[in-house]
Amino acid sequence: MPLVDVTYAPTVPEPSLRALGSVLPHLVSLAVECPEEPYDGDLQPGDVELRFRPLGPLDRSGLPVVIEIKSKWFASRAANRQERVDTLHANIHAATGLADFGVYLSLPIAAWSQGD
């Protein structure tokens, strides 16, 4: 279950943020799918958590949008993580038209539990 944090500058139009919110769950799921956590295309509640946060007055960022993804470490994910994040960046650009943004993929050793 990926956690996705989107930090954005006040200059980013709301329609662009809505477009990101619409496409990120699917695109991130494609980017992190692996044999241990396959993606069947049928997202359920809790499969991908999105959080949007505007840059604060003390934040410093060289990009108007930074997308940070945290997804559980598996060797199959880690083996080609740069290819995964490069493909995800290209897919986000194609789906939203955003040009000036960064994507950070983190694969921590982690565990997740969700109630029924």
CB-neighbour burial class of residue 45 (10 A; exposed 0-12, middle 13-18, buried 19+): exposed
Query: Residues 34-75: pLDDT tens digits?
Result: 999 999 999 988 889 999 999 999 999 999 999 999 999 999
Query: Residues 91-104: pLDDT tens digits?
Result: 999 999 999 999 99
Domain assignment present for residue 38? The answer is: yes
pTM of the model as a whole:
0.92
Number of domains in the chain: 1
Phi, psi of 94 (to 5 degrees): -65, -35
First-last CA distance in the chain: 15
> From start to end of the chain, where are the E strands?
3-8, 49-54, 65-70, 101-106
Instruction: Give the integer Cα–Cα distance in Å for 4 and 94.
Output: 19
Domain assignment present for residue 112? The answer is: no
Domain assignment present for residue 48? The answer is: yes
Phi, psi of 80 (to 5 degrees): -130, 40
89 close to 31: Cβ distance less than 8 angstroms: no
CATH number of 63's domain:
3.30.429.10
Domain assignment present for residue 66? The answer is: yes
46: domain range? 3-106
Query: Residues 67-84: pLDDT tens digits?
Result: 999 999 999 999 999 999
Residue 46 region, left (φ>0) first, then alpha (ψ -120 to 50), else beta? Answer: left
